[in-house]
Amino acid sequence: MSTLPRALTLPPRTGTTPAEARRAARRRSRRDRATAWAFISPSVVVILGLSVVPVVWSLLLSFRADDLVTPGRWVGLDNYRALAQDPNFRTAVGNTIQYAALYVPLSLVGGLALAIALNRRIRFVGLYRTLVFVPFVVSATAQGVLFSFILDPDFGVANSLLHHLGVSRQGFLSDPGQAMFLLVLISLWSGVGFCVVVYLAALQDVPPELVESARLDGANLRQVLRHVTLPALTPVTVFLLLWQLISALQVFDLIYVTTKGGPLGSTTVVVYFVWQQAFQMFTAGYGAAAAYVLALALLVSGGVLRLVRAREGRVEGGRS
């Protein structure tokens, strides 16, 4: 910063009364306020205009029968009552829960295991880390197209490999019993990299003295992991749990590209259901109600995790 001109200190000007100084200060602060508003107005208009307004609008929509084209009418809680009885919505909720229940724990455990393995100073470790992480930047669309091809029952390389191993042809994404598990696998392929990166960053912060002294006390690798590393990683684990849960409950792109919710509704998740209702069946009010149910679930899971985190923080604090 040597190029900056040094501030000149002027002797205090004589002849200004305190009243004049106050007026000048007021003028300055008024100008400053105007500048501040000019600076933030684009953000305020875009962000608040396209999130706060729609959140309220969505709530109003969920109390209406509306097709986005003709004027709708107020139906109160009818949409929510109908949702509670809709077997398709129940299936969508079940599928979403199944997907999240598989994806979230597997991505965390897999991410942690890989991060521990990748957290050593060996040759090529940078290359290994890059290879594990790269699928994360591939869009869900591209993943979907790629895996539709790999898992194509007729032309896919997956069946070809199974053929070489003497296993009969599989239906893969066209088999209602396999589709959801394959979608979880594809999501893991791309999603684990994020957990690995976050865990790797956190592992750097585990104090090496702690590990060292535990080793000196005769703890083996598993005991170090159990009693030193894992407790130190708790805040990161809670963060990842929340993050992965949110992304799991919102999964859409991959499903749209690969199965379109099929076969036989076996991969219709809540977001897919919302999209179908609003933009295919033109029952936007009903879709908005389903979106509100999903948002509520997200809010509740976020709140519960926050509580757990706060409790754990107290426990940790009490222990030390």
Partner 1 sequence: MNPSTPRRPSLGWHLLLAPLALAFALPLVWLVLSSVMSDAEINRFPPALWPHGIDLSGYRYVMGNALFPRWFANSLIVAVVAVTSNLLFGALGGYAFARMRFGGSRLLLALMLATMVVPFQLTMIPTFLVMKWLGLIDTLGALIVPSLVTPFAVFLFRQFFLSLPREIEEAAWIDGCSRLRVLFSIVLPLARPALATVAVLTFLTAWNDLSWPLIAINHDTVYTLQLGLTTFQGQHHTKWSAVMAGNVITVLPVLVAFLLAQRTFIQSLTSSGIKG
Among 65, 82, 97, 146, the residue binding partner 1 under the rule CB under 8 A is 146
Least separation, in Å, of the C-beta of 131 and partner 1? 4
- One-letter-per-residue 3-state SS of the chain: CCCCCCCCCCCCCCCCCHHHHHHHHHHHHHHHHHHHHHHHHHHHHHHHHHHHHHHHHHHHHHCEECCCCCCCEECCCHHHHHHHHCHHHHHHHHHHHHHHHHHHHHHHHHHHHHHHHHCCCCCCHHHHHHHHHHHHHCCHHHHHHHHHHHCCCCCCHHHHHHHHCCCCCCCHHHCCCCHHHHHHHHHHHHHHHHHHHHHHHHHHCCCHHHHHHHHHCCCCHHHHHHHHHHHHHHHHHHHHHHHHHHHHHCCCHHHHHHCCCCCCCCCCCHHHHHHHHHHCCCCHHHHHHHHHHHHHHHHHHHHHHHHHHHHHHHHHHHHC
Verify binding: residue 141, partner 1, rule CB under 8 A: yes
Q: Which is nearer to partner 1, 37 or 74 (CB)?
A: 37
Restricted to residues 117-136, the positions that interact with partner 1 (CB under 8 A) are 117-125, 127-128, 130-135
Give the residue from 125, 126, 133 showing the smallest Cα distance to 192. 133
Least separation, in Å, of the C-beta of 57 and partner 1? 4
Among 100, 184, 245, 274, the residue binding partner 1 under the rule CB under 8 A is 274
- How many residues belong to the site for partner 1 (CB under 8 A)? 104
Verify binding: residue 214, partner 1, rule CB under 8 A: no
Verify binding: residue 106, partner 1, rule CB under 8 A: no
Least separation, in Å, of the C-beta of 285 and partner 1? 9
Q: Are strands 73-74 and 64-65 parallel, antiparallel or unpaired?
A: antiparallel
Verify binding: residue 2, partner 1, rule CB under 8 A: no
Residue 22: other Cβ atoms inside 10 A: 10
Verify binding: residue 13, partner 1, rule CB under 8 A: no
Restricted to residues 35-64, the positions that interact with partner 1 (CB under 8 A) are 35-37, 39-40, 42-44, 46-55, 57-58, 61
Verify binding: residue 310, partner 1, rule CB under 8 A: no
**Which neighbouring-strand residues pair with 62?**
none
Verify binding: residue 16, partner 1, rule CB under 8 A: no
Verify binding: residue 212, partner 1, rule CB under 8 A: yes
Least separation, in Å, of the C-beta of 287 and partner 1? 6
Least separation, in Å, of the C-beta of 76 and partner 1? 19
Give the residue from 297, 243, 238, 300 showing the smallest Cα distance to 271. 297
Verify binding: residue 70, partner 1, rule CB under 8 A: no
Q: Which is nearer to partner 1, 104 or 140 (CB)?
A: 140
- Which listed range, 80-88, 156-164, 222-230, 307-315, lies at the site for partner 1 (CB under 8 A)? 156-164
Verify binding: residue 165, partner 1, rule CB under 8 A: no
Among 253, 262, 282, 308, the residue binding partner 1 under the rule CB under 8 A is 253
- Which listed range, 82-90, 154-162, 173-181, 223-231, lies at the site for partner 1 (CB under 8 A)? 154-162
Verify binding: residue 232, partner 1, rule CB under 8 A: no
Tell me the chain's radius of gyration from C-alpha atoms: 28
Verify binding: residue 170, partner 1, rule CB under 8 A: no
